[in-house]
């Protein structure tokens, strides 16, 4: 009897594995929900829609993009992380995965996601309002050291721009006066109007103001200078150690099968090589820098270790 039960159990297990393997082999067999945890037209939404045609082409399936905004990304991410880990729900992670956790605004942790790909990176830029006394980083630091406390705007308390502004201040050893705004455009308007001295935002958010001579980029937190502001030095160039990028990627609930993840990796590789996507990224001030597997996991851990403690500190 015991031998019979063991044989039956082994047969059931083998059947389950065969069914699982067949499901992965035939994936996708229905449309895939792609949750964007922000409203239409934002940075994450634009990236997903730019990737969509070539990912659908590579996967041989349909992506249904759902914009589920609220709570700075918390609502959409919560929907995604609680979905079945079957490959039919994915989302687009960025630094909010870390700041939301640090602020205590969500029940999940960044480790509850399976990170499939990093697609784009873009630095944060410290830009000052037009001022004849602030022509470059050196003159700005001289002004600060002479007693001028810089007021710095960003997009929302606990946002990645807030965390980055704090990190920049700590690295420079200066005491900024932090002023949150309801979005990047509001922060830019305040700086142009002289209501704050500077902003910390992503390149595409300040591009028009810089081109119009209203803002002057002082430094970048990227690894290299960005094509959109080639004359703006990085903090590493200036002798500091801070290197921090915003990023956009693809993630699924923890537990997605390796076979399905591999299909997504190949689809992303196909999509990012598309000339139209390359143009989209360059025009937006982003750099196509895909990462997968262990390298991606290390990038996520390193960024989380930097951002989560700072996000926790802004709540204190």
Per-residue pLDDT of the chain (316 residues; tens, 9 = 90+): 555 655 555 555 555 544 545 567 899 999 999 999 998 988 899 999 999 999 999 999 999 999 999 888 999 999 999 999 999 999 999 999 999 999 998 999 999 999 999 999 999 999 999 988 999 999 999 999 999 999 999 988 889 999 999 999 999 999 999 999 988 889 999 999 999 999 999 998 899 999 999 999 999 999 899 988 999 999 999 999 999 999 999 999 999 999 999 999 999 999 999 999 999 998 888 999 999 999 999 999 999 999 999 999 887 6
What total of structural domains would you count in the chain? 2
Residue 227, pLDDT score: 87
- Asked which of 189, 215, 238 is the last residue of a domain, the reply is 238
Does residue 12 lie within any of the structural domains?
Answer: no
One domain, residues 201 and 267: no
One domain, residues 116 and 140: no
Residue 47, pLDDT score: 95
Residue 23, pLDDT score: 60
Rounded Cα–Cα distance for residues 142 and 72 (Å): 36
**CATH code: domain of residue 90:** 3.40.190.150
Verify cis geometry, omega within 30 degrees of 0, for the bond prior to 268: no
Does residue 8 lie within any of the structural domains?
Answer: no
**CATH code: domain of residue 171:** 3.40.190.10
One domain, residues 221 and 293: no
Go through 293-303 and write b for each residue having 16 or more CB atoms within 10 A of its CB, e for each that does not. eeebeebbeeb
One domain, residues 104 and 86: yes
- Asked which of 210, 238, 266 is the last residue of a domain, the reply is 238
One domain, residues 117 and 134: no
One domain, residues 109 and 49: yes
One domain, residues 106 and 180: no
Does residue 24 lie within any of the structural domains?
Answer: no
Residues 6+ apart with CB under 8 A from 109: 101
Containing domain of residue 171, as a range? 128-238
One domain, residues 39 and 141: no
One domain, residues 212 and 181: yes
Contact yes or no for 51/63 (Cβ under 8 A)? no
Residue 149, pLDDT score: 94
Residue 204, pLDDT score: 86
Q: Which residue has the tokens 């082999």?
A: 25
- Asked which of 204, 219, 238 is the last residue of a domain, the reply is 238
One domain, residues 259 and 219: no
One domain, residues 118 and 134: no
Q: How far is CA 3 from the centre of its chain?
A: 54
One domain, residues 221 and 140: yes
Does residue 161 lie within any of the structural domains?
Answer: yes
Q: How many residues does the chain have?
A: 316
Does residue 18 lie within any of the structural domains?
Answer: no
Residue 43, pLDDT score: 86
Residue 157, pLDDT score: 86
Does residue 173 lie within any of the structural domains?
Answer: yes
Whole-prediction pTM: 0.85
Does residue 10 lie within any of the structural domains?
Answer: no
Go through 104-136 and write b for each residue having 16 or more CB atoms within 10 A of its CB, e for each that does not. ebbebebebbbbbbbbbbbbbbbbbbeeeebee
Contact yes or no for 304/110 (Cβ under 8 A)? yes
Does residue 284 lie within any of the structural domains?
Answer: yes
């Amino acid at each position: 009897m015991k031998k019979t039960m063991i044989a039956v159990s082994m047969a059931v297990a083998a059947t389950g594995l065969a069914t699982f393997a067949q499901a992965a082999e035939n994936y996708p067999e229905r449309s895939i929900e792609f949750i964007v945890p922000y409203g239409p037209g934002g940075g994450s939404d634009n990236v997903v829609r730019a990737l969509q045609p070539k990912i659908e082409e590579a996967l041989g399936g349909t992506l249904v993009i759902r914009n589920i905004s609220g709570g700075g990304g918390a609502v959409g991410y919560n929907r995604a992380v609680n979905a079945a880990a079957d490959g039919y729900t994915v989302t687009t992670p960025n630094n909010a995965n870390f700041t939301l956790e640090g602020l205590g605004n969500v029940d999940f942790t960044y480790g509850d996601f399976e990170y499939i790909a990093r697609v784009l990176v873009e630095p944060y830029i410290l830009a000052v309002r037009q001022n004849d006394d602030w022509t470059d980083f050196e003159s700005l630091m001289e002004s600060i050291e002479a007693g001028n406390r810089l007021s710095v705007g960003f997009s929302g308390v606990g946002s990645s721009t807030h965390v980055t502004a704090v990190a920049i201040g700590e690295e420079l050893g200066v005491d900024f006066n932090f002023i949150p705004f309801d979005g990047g455009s509001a922060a830019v308007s305040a700086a142009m109007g002289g209501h704050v001295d500077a902003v910390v935002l992503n390149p595409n958010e300040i591009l028009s103001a810089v081109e119009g001579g209203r803002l002057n980029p002082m430094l970048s937190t990227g690894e290299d200078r960005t094509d959109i502001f080639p004359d703006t030095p990085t903090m590493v160039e200036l002798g500091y150690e801070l290197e921090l990028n915003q990023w956009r990627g693809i993630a699924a609930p923890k537990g997605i099968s390796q076979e399905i993840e591999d299909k997504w990796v190949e689809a992303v590789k196909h999509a990012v090589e598309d000339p139209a996507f390359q143009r989209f990224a360059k025009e937006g001030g982003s750099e196509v820098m895909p990462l997968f597997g262990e390298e991606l996991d290390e990038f996520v851990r390193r960024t989380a270790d930097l951002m989560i403690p700072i996000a926790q500190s802004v709540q204190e």
